[in-house]
Every structure is written in C-alpha cells, then in structure tokens.
Structure 1
C-alpha cells in the first residue's frame, strides 16, 4: 500500500506553462533571445544566408554559450519562410569511462572502435535527415518506414497486385484458352472466341499482358530498392539502430548519397543545422558533410543552395587556417554566462525571501563551478523539486550544495548508494576518525618533541657554558685539586681553569684520543680518559649548550606557547567538523588522500580533477557534512519522533544551543545513536541536557570526550554560556555527577578552571553561574586531592578570589563537604557573606576557626556579625571598637589573620574608631609600618601624656634622624602633651631634630607648659639641649624665656654657633657663666657679623659686668683677641656703669704699663668718663695721656674738661681754661700741646709765649664772651 505524502502532491495549474512558473522550473531547451541581444547575430546569419557562395557556416562558441538559442531566434525571425532541418547528436560520455578502462587493448581494436563510432555518427545523421519527413512525402525513398496504412494505400496496393495477377492470367488465357477455360470452369464461348482469332492476335495479346504484368511488378520492386546496386545489406534494422554491412562496405553517407539528394530535392529544405558534432572530436565527419553539401547543391542547381550551419566550439580545428578554409563564414557567439557574471545569473533563480547571507554566499561560491547555463537551469529545477520533498529542506544552502554536487559529480553522487565514491568514503573516514588520526600523527609527534624539549630546558640548572664545562670535568678533576693536578695530552699540560674559561681549549682536549690527569711537575698519572668517554662528553656538552642557549624566559614562553598551540590544534582536530578537517587537510592533502585510497584499492576514482576540487570545496565550506543523506531522503517517523527529528535537523544545520536545547526529546537513546552516526555528538548544540543526563548514566566516557571538545574552544564566555544552558535544569545531584566527570581528569579540570577564570566580560547571570560551579566543584570530596596540583591550585585560588557568593552558592547539605575540601587542600575563601542562614553560619564558624579565609575588613566584620546575636547593635560597636569586638570572639586564628593584616585593618577600620587606648600598643608594634603609624597620628584625635609609654621607631635601620620616626610625627601633628618632662624625653632621643621639630613645637606650645624644673643629668643631652634648643636661631623669645625660667643652671660651655639674640637673653637671665672662656666663645661666635659688633660688645660688657674682676685678672684675654687690641670692646667696658672705677683705672694702668702707646693711639674714654675716672687716678701721666686722646678726638665738654684739668696734681693744668682773663703758666711741652688742643676746640685763644720776664711762660687767653655763648648754645 502506497502512503499518501502531502508534499508529493503536484501543484495544480491551468497549463504546463503556468505550473512551471508556479514552481520556478526552467526548460533546458534553447530559448529565444530578446531582439536587442540577438540583432547582431541575426544580421550576420542573414548575410551568410543570402550570400550565394556561402554554404558552410560555423556558429562558434564554448559549450553553453547560447549557440542553439541564437540559431533558434534567427529561425523564428524568418516567420516560417525558412525551412530548417536540425541535426543534433548526443555525446557518448556514458561509454567513455568504459572505453578508458580498456586502454590496454591493441591498436587494431582501437581503430575498429573508432570506425564503429564514426559509422554510428553517420547513421545518426542519416537517420535524423531521412526520418525528418513522413513516408508519403518521399515516395521514392528506398528506406522503409513504419507508418499507419491508409485505405487508399491498401486499395492501391491491392489494385497493383490484382492487375499483375490479371495480366499474368490474361497472357496465359491468350496462349491456352481451352486449358484456362477447363481449369477455371469458364464458359466455352470465351475459348472458342479466342481460338477463332488469328494466332498472331493471340500472341500479341499474350505479350501485351506479360509486359503489363512485368511493368507493375518491376515498379513495386524498384520502390523497395531491390535493384539498388550501390549497397549490399545483410541486415538493416532502423528501429534498433543496428546496421550490418559487409566488411568492405563504404561510408553510409556515401552509400546513401542518392537518398540524401533525393530527400533535399523532394523536401525543399533551405538550411541544415548540425549541433554537437564537435563533441566527438572527429574531423572526418565535417569533411564528409562538406562533400555532401557540395553534391546536394550541384544536383539542385535550379534552386537556392542548401546551407549547412555547424554549431561548434571555438577550438574545433587546431589552426585558424584550417577553420577558415573549411567554413565559408564563421560567426562567434559571446557566452551569456561566465565566471564573471555567473552569480548574477544564478541568484536570479531564487526568490528574494529565500536569499539570506548564508545562501547568498553559497550561490556566489557554487556559481563559479557551474560550466554553462543548461547545468544551472537543471540545478535550479532539481533544487525546487528537492526543496519540496527532502527531510532537511530548511537549510537551503546545504540543499543547493547537494543538488550542485548531484549535477556536477553525478557518478560520485550515485556511488553513495553502493557505498562508493569520494564523498562517501571521506565522510566514513571522518566518522571512523581515520582522517583525524592522520592529521594528529604529526601534531602528536611535534607536541611530544616540544614537551621533551621543555622538560630538558627546565631541568637544565646551569646558566652558562663555563659552569657546564666545570661540571662535566668535575668527575675527572675537582676544583679542590686543580692546583695539584692538570690534564695532559700530546705533550701539553692544560689546567682546569684554562679549560673552564676557554671553550676552544676544552673542545680541542675532547678531540684528543688519550687524555691523562697528572701532576704538573713529575707527570705522575692519576687518571686515564679514553676516547669513548671524550665522545660522550662532547655529545653531552653540545646538547646541553643548546639547552643553556635556549634557557631564557622568552624562549621558555615561546615553547610553552607552541605546546599550547599544538594542544589547541589537537583538540580542534578531535572535535572539528567535516569542514574543519577538510580545511586543515588543504586541497593538496585531499588529493593525496584520494590517491592513497586508490592505491589501497578502497576507491576507484573516475572523477575528473575539477570534480574533486568541487567536492573538496563543498566539504571545506561546510556545505556537505555527515548529514548529507538527509538532503536526499524523506523522513518517516519511527525510532525518532517529529520533535527528535527537528532537534537533529537543527543540530546539523548549526542552529544555536538556545534553539536546540529548547526541544523536548522523546527518544534520547536513539538520538544519541543518531548523533554518533552523524559524527556530531561533540557539537555544542548537541549537548542537550537530556543527552547529557543519558550519557552520565550510560556512557560517561563519551561524555568525557564531549567535555574535552567543549573546553577546547578559545572563547571562555561562550564556554560558560554553554555550560550554563546545559545545567540550567539540573538538580544538585545531577550537577554534581556531571562535575565529577570534570574532576576525573586533571587536564579537563584545568581547562574548565581556565575558562571560569578568564577575564572576559560576563553578564550577571554568568558571573553567578561561575561561582555556583566553583562551589559545587569544592563540594566533591571523592577526588579532592586533585586540587593539590600546582596549576589547578593556582586557578581555583583565582576563582575563589573572584567569587563573592561562593559560600552562599554551596548547595544545601554540602557545607561540611565544602569545608573538608578547603581544609584538606588549604584553600581560603575570599568573601564571607554577612546575611546567611544557620547552616551557612556553621560553615563560616568552621572556616573562621580554621583560618581558611582571606583577610578583608568586610570578611572580619561579617564573621563577627554571623557569630553574634544582635547584629544591628554589634554593627555599630564594631565600627567604634573593632579590636574589642574581634577579641571578644576568642578565635585565635581570627586574631592571627587580623594581626597578619593589621595595617590594612588599621587604615580601613581602626583609624575611624574610638579605641584611642589601643594607640600606644599599635605605635609600639613592629607589625605596623611607619606609613600606617603616620596615618594613625595624622587622622586620629589623641594625646600622649607621657612619651615614656611610646617606643620611638624610625624607618632607617640605624634609627638616625634621616628618616621618619614616631616622635617626629607626634610632634608634627601635635599629639604630645606639652610638658618639660616630654621635652627632656625628646632630648634623649637622637632621632629627633631638636633644632627643628622640637624648637618648633616649643614655640607653638610654650604658653601651655606648666612650671617645672628642667633636670638633665646627661652631659651630652644637656649640651644638645643648649646647642639645639637654647641656642636655636628659630626659637622665639617668649619660648626661650619660658624654658630659661625653668632652667636652674648656669652655662659654662657656650656653643660656638649661638645666635646673638639667644646670648643676649641668656645673659640677661644670668644663665651664662661670666668667665673668660664664655667671653672668648661668645666673641668668636658673634664677631663675624660686622653689623652686630656694637650689640656684641654690649653683650660682652654685660657679661663682664657680672664679674668685673676678670678684667684685672685676665686683661690680656679681655682686651686682646689673637694679639689685636679691641678698641671698641675696651671702650664698651670703660663705659659700662656696672664696672667699678677702680677696675677701670686698674685696666687703664695695665694698658699703659703693658702695652705702651696703646692709649696714645686709641680713643677709649670720653671726656665725661675721664672726668669720672680722673679723681681716682693718682698719676698725672695717665690723665695727661687720656686727656690728649680725648682732645684730639674732639671730645669737648667745658665742665668735664675743667674737672679733668683740675684733677691734675700739677696746678699748671688748672690754668689752661681761664674764665675771665688771661693767665700765664710755666711752659712745658705737655702744657703747650694741651693748650693748643684746647684752643683748637675754641675754649681759649691759641697759646702764646710771654715776653720779657715771662718769656718762659705760656699766655693763656680765654675767648670773648660771645664765643662762650655760642659755644654753650
């Protein structure tokens, strides 16, 4: 019983033409061309036709160029006025391969075959010409035809036969009338009548009857060709196409030339068109046809000549001369379709709604292989038919490729049914992994070599050749004995050091046959090295030198990259599609594979090279794959449901997993078997959750291979997406069983983790899924030791670090297993969730108790919150008192984690807290760096009352002042309580910059200091205190006075760099010891600044004034500095109010007595001071010297001058300044000099010597009164 198939129902149309249009079919016959396209051709053919001398016309062009269409259009253009006869011959391609297979036959047999083919061609031409018209149109033709016999024909034949019989009987009757009458029982009257006639009349009647009978008989015999003497036929069977002639028979065209001439004479044909004659490559046929044309036209001279038109390819003759000599006119036809425009022609065969990117590309690529328009039309027709029938008609690109393959490689296509052909064996070899194994062979060898090379490079510990030579020579001569022993060969001694340093010497030594290790002096032999050992050494040296040279980071990375590339290539080959494998084979490899199959007898190739190229193109492009049978068959439900079949079709057509995974599969077992047969079980879109569940239970090894293929992809985001789609509906149990497959192989697990850890952009769903996978993997305890692999441990660590919800993602009931895996493999979670249920809290407690978590503030906080009751209250207290909160949990591992990461904890939490009481502990802790200490000091509000509680630490190892230290930071940020005890403590710390940091702090805080005695017991500290603080140039006066007010000591050693201002304050506060040493140091320290000389002298005078007796005790040190008399300082001392008169007078006497002339040159005392000191001087010489210096200096005060003059013991000086009238005083040199000096000042007139008896006296005349007034004014 034949089942009705809905899509086999033909489309109903009004006519055949309408039906063809409905399904877009196209005829393969020549078509009429548009007038604008065919105009040039028609004009050329008209010219050739009208020209009387042109009788053999060639219409040339390649196969499929449209020659027949041009001729058809030309014939139609004559509107039936032109009688055309078309002779078309088919090619013998079907027999060609048979002929080629018999290529070993003899040349005689080949000649016979050629002749047989030629006669077949001639007979075909003769048959098509002579059978063009009906029998009655060629009544004289000797070739009989089967035709319907009409009543007229029967009547005519009967009449001829009856007449022949009657005439024969009449002749007999004329000769023997009695005999005939008796035999025929005729009336005797007829016989008597004839007997009565003369015998001559009777003979004449008989002869006439015989002649009439013979005429009728000969006429019929002539019609059947019984009298044709040009051919002797044993047998002519025109129906079966069998012609049997004698061996010596000539050409059929020559034999039947009269028939041909008679045919054209009777039918009046104008043109004969010969098509496809060139396909036989037999030039003699053309020669015979040209002869026949000549004969016909010679016989038909009374009418227009018959034109022979040959539609042939361009290369029918080898030379242009032969072609132009044979043909009278040659008209080329430009091909309608070629490689340049094939796509444009082909794409028009498809509807716009059918064409998408995939089909458009397929059309474009296949079009280049289509030889001509007829083949294109046929491909389109078959495509339309198959599109409505076959199973996988949705994938138009693959269907079109199959139809193109069917047309262009017909023999290979039909060989599929008998399990033959290139395509069948290639797909079968692919399914059997035969091709993949061949491709893998070289890759595996190279991978093995690379792996061995990497191991060798890694194991090579030496870094240079010198060390290598030393190591190789070590078994023969150790360096410990290199001074006592040497190598000896051919009269030369070579030391070990020379061989190590000089490679040429080393290689030269290894080339020697006999090598000895001897003492350098007496050449006592200790060891002999034979040639076999030296050869081994040389080989080992060369091999390891290569390893040393290649042992670089870049080279090792390159080798690893090559190994990775080869592994990826290996995986790609194992999981590659047919297209991938074909592409990797390349066309040359494909041809070589076919050749190999031919050599082994598996394949018998009859395809041309172009067909092989086309098959390779279809395979490498993915148009032909393991599902090719579904494009040439009709699906019948049975072992697979409709849904299952749709799933398989979508898998084969390359639909995405999102589409294929949406199907509900009914017969998973049959689907898996079908996927295996198709070789697509490893495809991504075939990994349906139902398929995976079936493989978990029934075929875990296959599932493992599928997983390897899945993980071999380079795009991690795609791998994660696929895994997420596969496991969306998995229960926890199924997911864990699925992940056990990953855990069963270290390589697979490593690849999975690599994809999970990839840094590609992922959606939130993918990120959550990755963390779920990580959590489930860590719940598998059966093979948990796999995590101890270095690379896997590194990758799972990275994955854990990037999984904030890892603990939350642990499946219910697997918390203990999760913890055990972490504990056994020392894995630490990176994120502790804060708001979890009781089960997760239990896991967190175990993790915290084992210290299996990585530090972060949020982790510490969440551990605390999970392990306490009132979370809201504790959340606030944690931020205020973090140390207290964590210590309250009493978890030692937690405290250890805290102190291991104390710095980050301080910066993140503690620094914002209120736990000020913990600051000294943290400042003193060596776990806290100076950077963090600085942050604590800068950002937290606290004050250190007693610096004894703080250990000053510095960044510098030697704890000097060159680096930051805690005290400096405390001072800088004002974290030290202002007290003199803290100052003293700071002074004891050498890392403190007293003159800078401490002084600045004292300047800022001096008003807060409470009175307290400054007690410094250490001399060095005290000296530092004096030099850096007290004598600091930047300390303010108020601060310095504050410090000095609490300093109950007198400074006896003054720093040499003491500023003048500080010295003045010290002196004013009586903190400087009035000693010569202090005096000298101050002078040396302050005398360099010329601008402050006066202030310095004042300071020194004040210092001496505190103990004036040192002037008389050490006058040399006071008045002389490095042998030079200091006039200004001396003047300051003599002016000082606090220095007694006696001290001053004693100092003057010392200067006069010990430094003669100093008083004469120096102006030390003003006249007023001299007036004060003069009464204390008992020596007029001293007074006189000092007075002169004052008068010379212009220091004039009349009252003071009077006091000084009156203090002289010599009363003559008393009269030097008269008030109202002149005076005469005894002359002396000193008096005269003083009088002149006084007169210079304008107090008296210039002195004059008296006259007469007063000629030895000096006359002193006072100035007039007016002068006195002016003077006083």
Structure 2
C-alpha cells in the first residue's frame, strides 16, 4: 500500500514535466513548418547588369555556339598567339567569354587567367560644373581619340596587370617568386623578430654590457668576435628590410671592400619588362595558357597593347607550351589596317541589341515592366537603344521610380522618359536637385522665353488681321465697272461649281457670253431673282 502511494505521489509532477516537454516540441515543430513554408516573393523583375555566363542555354544558344566554334578553332591553331574579340560596348563580348570559360573550366587543355581593368581609374582633367551649368553632357563614344598617357599612368596600368597575374593563383604554386603575400603565419615576421633578438644580445656582448654575467661566469675570448659579426649581419639585414619597406627600393648593393653603396629606384621604366623573369616563371610554374584581357580599350591608347604583344612574344619563346592572349576590345580601337597586323585572329561580335530590334526585345523579354508605357512612345524611344546593359539599368531604375512614386499618379511615359535621360546624361540629371542643368533651364528660362515669343507673334498677327478687317470695312466701290467686276466674279464662281467649262448663259431668252457681261445683264438678273439661269457647257445649252 505504501509503494502505490509513493508512485502516485511522484507520478503527478512527472506528468506535468512530460506535458511541458510535449508543448516545447510542438512549438518547435510549428516554427520549423513556418520556416520551411515561408517564401520571399519577389515583386519586381531584377535585371542583372553583369555579363552572363549561360549563353549556351535558352534562345541565345545557337548564336553562342557559332562564336564558341570560332574560339575553339583559334585556340587550337598553333600559329595564333593574339586573338581579338571585337564589338561595340554592350555587344556581349564578356558574356561570350564568361560562358566559354565556364563551359571549359574543367578542360585540361586550357587554363584561363583573367585580367580586367574595369575598376582601374586614371585621373583626368575635369571641368567645373559652375563654369558652364547650362551645357549638356557630351558623348564622344563615336569619335576615336587616342589619349596620351604619361609614363606614370602606364606604370599604374602595368602594375595592375602584374598584380592580377600573381594574385590569381595561390602562393604555393609559385613558391620561388619574389612577390610575397601577407599570410596568417608569415615566416618573414618570425625571422625579423629573431634577427632583432640576436641583434640585441650580440650588441650587449660586443659593447661589453654583460658585467653581471661575467661576475658569475667568464665569457670565452672568441665570443666578442662572434657577437660583432652577428651584430653586423643582423644590422645590415634589418636596415635593408627597413629601407625596402619605407622607400620601395628595387635594388640595394653593398660592397665593403670596394666601399661601394648603390641604391636604385627608377620610376619611368617598364614594370612588365623589369619583372620579366618573374612573369616567365609564373607562366612556367602555373601552366596558364589563355590570358583573357578585358576593358583595356577604355584608355584609348595603343602603347599598352604593344607592350603586351611583346610580352606574349617573350613568353612563347621561353615557355614550352603556347600561351594565347585573348583581348576583348571595341571595334575602333585600332585604325585602318593596324588591327589585322596586331592580331593573328579576329572574331567580330554582332550586338545583341540595336535600334532596329530594341523594341521587339523589350516587348519579348520585359513585357511586364513596360506594359503601362504607350507602345508608340516606347517604339520611338527604342530607336536610341544600342547597349544591352544600359537598357537593363533603365528598366531597373524605371521599376524603382514607378514603385516609389505611385502615390503621385505620374504619367508612366514621363517617368520612363526622365529615367532614360538620367542614364544617358547622368551629370545633367544630378543638377536638377540644385535647380541647375539643361532640363531645368528648358522648363524655366527657355520655356518662358518661348511663351513670350509666341505671345508676341500672336499679338502681331491679331494687329495685322484687325488692320485688314478695317481696310475691308472701309473699302467702297467707286464705279459701275468695279461693281460689274464683283458681280461677274460671283456669278462665274457659282456657275463653275456646277460645271468647269461654261461659255454661255441664257438670260430672259437671250444668250450671253460669260466674258461679255455688262450692266444690262445684271439688271435683268436682278429682276429675275427667282428664275433659273440656263448655261451652255461646250456650246450646248442646258438648264440650271
């Protein structure tokens, strides 16, 4: 009986604990179901501006395969070392190359190396906005202007290319390279710390600052000499390290016997040529054999292309495997026959979008975005679209503006128009916030002047018409002949409305030539107001 009581006593709190655990488990299950069933809905269609890498899928597959076959043929041709993929900005060059790299990334035949200078900036002279606030943005993309780059600017470009060479592969693939990176367990830092410790200890021994040690233990006679050499070597190494970090020295030469000390730091030399041995070692060690160079044409200067061609020639003479430089450039980068002399093979890219097919592409791929825009207005606007990236950005920004400004109930065509203007003339658009720029001046100063001019023209026309009216009101017939002329004109006009060719009319039974009216004829007509007049076309009299 006692046992049963004890079980009942303990069973009640145990049941409560079980119920509590079940509730906790149930709550967690509900939360997990909510997380699994929750979906973030995308209200807007996002159009990425980055180059595509899936042209081998979908509608562009057939067009891409043609470019792919030409690339494969060019890369397999032993006599081809420099290939150009040419086309205007936004024609799809990068998308073709990205798709090709992705498809053949695991291919053992080609190992790709990407060089892109899209984020590399060179300072250029700019004009102040305050000097000419009424001027519009100028687009000189259609003009081929070769810009002169200073030696320092070319060095910056070469340094960027060199950095992208060596940062594209892990450090362990190029262990003998002098270009070292900062790592979490850098051996250089440990060696530097050890040199500092040796320098301090050897300095204390050499300068006899260890009396407290000699009081306990006598130092051997050879130790000061060893300390001197250790101190000297550590001091030179640390000094070299300090100078190389502080002044970016490229060469230090010391010769104690001949008292020679040489520091070399040239600023105008070619970085690619100066580090040619490093570059050759890089390609030999990594096995990279296809270098894809993009956005180099943005500088509008051919000198850097010449240097890269020379570099390619040096690499192929040194390395056993052929290395191909693949350039993505605009069509007008080289003039006349320079392009065919510089590259061994050229692949032209036909633009995906142009003014003739822009409207159809937008209606086909982005119909939901532009469904509220007037079709005729959109078609006329598409005549200026020739860059796919720009079109995508226009559609993205139009969605954002339309979404944020819905409560204003603005005209969709006007919103789209100002977004297009913003993308083609961003500098002038930014001036609108400070009540400046071409658009602001048109709707304020120019508009008012046009209205005033139109008012002046209308006022002058009104004055002319009023003067003419006054002249007509004051005009009087001064003779019977003038009255006959007025009547003749009115009568002939009325007859010729019925028939073009009339020679005679019959008035009160009498035939009269229409060119021989006199006052008697009009007096008879006056007396015959309600009678019909007979006229004769081509000498045949008929009634009217």
1:48 deviates by 2.3
- Superposed, 1:466-485 pairs within 5 Å as none
1:449-488 paired onto structure 2 within 5 Å: 449-462=464-477
Match of 1:228 in 2: 250
- 8 Å CA contact 1:89–1:124 kept in 2: the answer is no
Residue number in structure 2 paired with 1:387: 402
Using CA pairs below 8 Å that are at least 6 residues apart, which structure has the higher relative contact order?
Answer: 2
Distance 1:334 1:111 in 2: 27
Q: Which residue of 1 aligns with 2:500?
A: none
Residue of structure 1 in register with 2:217 after alignment? 188
* SS of alignment partner, residue 328 of structure 2: strand
Q: 1:182 to 1:268 in 2, by over 3 A?
A: farther
Q: 1:421 aligns with which of 415, 432, 437?
A: 437
SS in structure 2 at match of 1:84: strand
**CA separation of 1:158/1:405 partners in 2, compared to 1, >3 Å: closer, same or farther?**
same
Which residue number in structure 2 is paired with residue 371 of structure 1? 386
Aligned-residue RMSD, C-alpha = 4.7
What is the 5 A alignment of 1:335-414? 335-352=351-368, 355-356=371-372, 358-390=373-405, 391-392=407-408, 395-414=411-430
Q: Is the 8 A contact 2:353 2:388 kept in 1?
A: yes
CA distance in 2, matches of 1:93, 1:154: 34
Q: Which of 298, 309, 330 in structure 1 is aligned with 2:346?
A: 330
Q: 1:750-779 CA deviation, whole Å, 9 max, x = no partner? A: xxxxxxxxxxxxxxxxxxxxxxxxxxxxxx
Which residue of structure 2 aligns with residue 31 of structure 1?
Answer: 52
Which secondary structure state, in structure 1, belongs to the residue aligned with residue 75 of structure 2? helix
- CA shift for structure 1 position 61: 0.6
Residues 364/19 of structure 1: CA separation in 2 closer, same or farther (3 Å cut):
farther
Do the aligned partners of 2:147 and 2:299 also contact (CA within 8 Å) in 1? no
Matched ranges for 1:863-874 at <5 A: none
TM-score by length of 2: 0.63
Displacement of 1:332 = 0.8
* CA distance 1:229–1:58, shift in 2 (3 Å): same
Matches within 5 A, 1:887-898: none
When residues 388 and 335 of structure 1 are mapped into structure 2, their CA distance, relative to the original with a 3 A threshold, is same
Which one has a bigger Cα radius of gyration?
1
Shift of 1:383: 1.6
**Matching residue within 42, 45, 50 for 2:76:** 50
CA distance in 2 between partners of 1:51 and 1:315 (Å):
26
> After superposition, what is the alpha-carbon deviation per residue over 1:1069-1103, rounded to whole angstroms, capped at 9, x for unaligned?
xxxxxxxxxxxxxxxxxxxxxxxxxxxxxxxxxxx
Aligned counterparts of 1:208 and 1:38: Cα–Cα separation in 2: 68
Structure 1 residue 142: deviation in Å? Answer: 5.7
Paired residues of 1:57 and 1:328 also in contact (CA < 8 A): yes
Q: CA offsets per residue over residues 54-105 of structure 1, 9 Å max, x none?
A: 2211100111100000110110111344232222335879956529989xxx
Structure 1 residues 113 and 84: CA distance shift in structure 2, 3 A: closer
Distance of 2:195 and 2:436 partners within structure 1: 65
CA contact (8 A) 1:164 1:217 kept: no
Answering whether residue 310 of structure 2 is matched by residue 291 of structure 1, we say yes
- Cα distance change of structure 1 residues 280 and 462 upon mapping to structure 2, 3 Å threshold: farther
CA distance in 1, matches of 2:125, 2:242: 43
Shift of 1:330: 0.7
Shift in Å, 1:426:
1.7
SS at match of 1:415: helix
Unaligned 5+ runs, structure 1: 1-13, 103-109, 196-201, 232-244, 469-547, 555-956, 958-1273
SS at match of 1:416: helix
Per the TM alignment, residue 377 of structure 1 is displaced from its structure 2 partner at its CA by 0.9
3-state secondary structure, aligned to 1:98? coil
**Counterparts in 2 of 1:271 and 1:25: CA distance versus 1, 3 Å:** same
**Do residues 60 (structure 1) and 86 (structure 2) align?**
yes
1:435 — aligned with what? 450
Would the alpha carbon gap of residues 278 and 212 (structure 1) be closer, same or farther in structure 2, given more than 3 Å must change? closer
Q: Is residue 55–residue 328 contact of structure 1 (8 Å, CA) maintained in 2?
A: yes
Contact 2:83–2:324, Cα closer than 8 Å, also in 1: yes
Q: Return the offset for 1:465.
A: 12
- Tell me the secondary structure at the aligned position of residue 273 of structure 1: strand
Indicate whether 1:316 and 2:333 are aligned.
Answer: yes
2:118 is the counterpart of 1:89: yes
Residue 95 of structure 2 corresponds to residue 69 of structure 1: yes
SS across alignment from 1:23: coil
* CA separation of 1:219 and 1:265: change in aligned 2, threshold 3 A: farther
Instruction: Measure, in 2, the Cα distance between the counterparts of 1:412 and 1:375.
Output: 17
Match of 2:6 in 1: none
User: Where does the alignment leave 5 or more consecutive residues of structure 2 unmatched?
Assistant: 1-34, 133-145, 254-263, 492-526, 528-544
Task: Measure the CA separation in 2 of the matches of 1:385 and 1:350.
Answer: 15
Conserved in 1, the CA contact under 8 Å of 2:115 and 2:161?
A: no
Shift of 1:279: 2.5
Distance of aligned partners of 1:297 and 1:450 in 2 relative to their CA distance in 1, 3 Å threshold: same
Does the 8 A contact of 1:75 with 1:84 survive in 2? no
Q: 2:380 and 2:252 mapped to 1: Cα distance?
A: 58
- Pick closer, same or farther for the CA change 1:180–1:94 going to 2, 3 Å: closer
CA spacing shift, 1:465–1:60, aligned 2, 3 Å: farther
Matched residue SS, 1:272? strand
Partners of 1:94 and 1:165 in 2: how far apart?
47
Report the Cα distance in structure 2 between the residues aligned to 1:22 and 1:125, rounded to whole angstroms. 41
Deviation per CA, 1:485-530: give whole Å up to 9, x if none: xxxxxxxxxxxxxxxxxxxxxxxxxxxxxxxxxxxxxxxxxxxxxx
Cα–Cα, structure 1 residues 159 and 50, in superposed 2: closer, same or farther, change >3 Å? farther
The CA distance in 2 between the partners of 1:261 and 1:464, in whole Å, is: 111
Q: Report the counterpart of residue 185 of structure 2 in structure 1.
A: 150
Quote the offset at 1:310 in angstroms.
1.3
What CA distance in whole angstroms lies between the structure 1 residues aligned with 2:379 and 2:457? 35
Residue 306 of structure 1: aligned partner: 323
Q: 1:323, CA displacement in angstroms? A: 0.6
Q: Deviations over 1:456-485 (max 9, x none)?
A: 3443323789779xxxxxxxxxxxxxxxxx
Q: CA deviation at 1:331?
A: 0.7
CA distance in 1, matches of 2:44, 2:66: 34
Q: How does 1:206-285 map to 2 (within 5 A)?
A: 228-229=250-251, 249-285=268-304
Q: Distance in 1 between matches of 2:284 and 2:128?
A: 40
SS of the equivalent of 2:327 reads strand
Q: Deviations over 1:155-193 (max 9, x none)?
A: 454345556777x579x78xx9xx58646437536527x
The 1:453–1:117 alpha-carbon spacing in structure 2 relative to 1, beyond 3 Å, is: farther
Contact 2:390–2:423 (Cα < 8 Å) also in 1? yes
Counterparts of 1:480-629 in structure 2, within 5 Å, are none
Query: Is the CA contact 1:61–1:335 (under 8 Å) kept in the aligned structure 2?
Result: yes
Q: Deviations over 1:1164-1186 (max 9, x none)?
A: xxxxxxxxxxxxxxxxxxxxxxx
Compute the displacement of 1:30 (Å): 0.4
Query: Would you say the 8 A contact 1:346–1:363 is kept in 2?
Result: no
* Cα deviation 1:855-907 (Å, max 9, x = unaligned): xxxxxxxxxxxxxxxxxxxxxxxxxxxxxxxxxxxxxxxxxxxxxxxxxxxxx
Q: How many residues align?
A: 420
Q: CA deviation at 1:280?
A: 2.2
Q: How far apart, CA to CA, are the structure 1 residues paired with 2:437 and 2:479?
A: 60
**TM-score, normalised with respect to structure 1:** 0.29
Aligned with 2:85: secondary structure?
Answer: strand
- Between Structure 1 and Structure 2, which shows a larger proportion of helix residues? 1
Structure 2 CA distance for partners of 1:451 and 1:149, relative to 1, 3 Å: same
Structure 2 Cα separation of the partners of residues 394 and 111 of structure 1: 44
Residues 79 and 121 of structure 1, relative CA distance in 2, 3 Å threshold: closer
**Cα distance change of structure 1 residues 113 and 213 upon mapping to structure 2, 3 Å threshold:** closer
Counterparts in 2 of 1:121 and 1:455: CA distance versus 1, 3 Å? farther
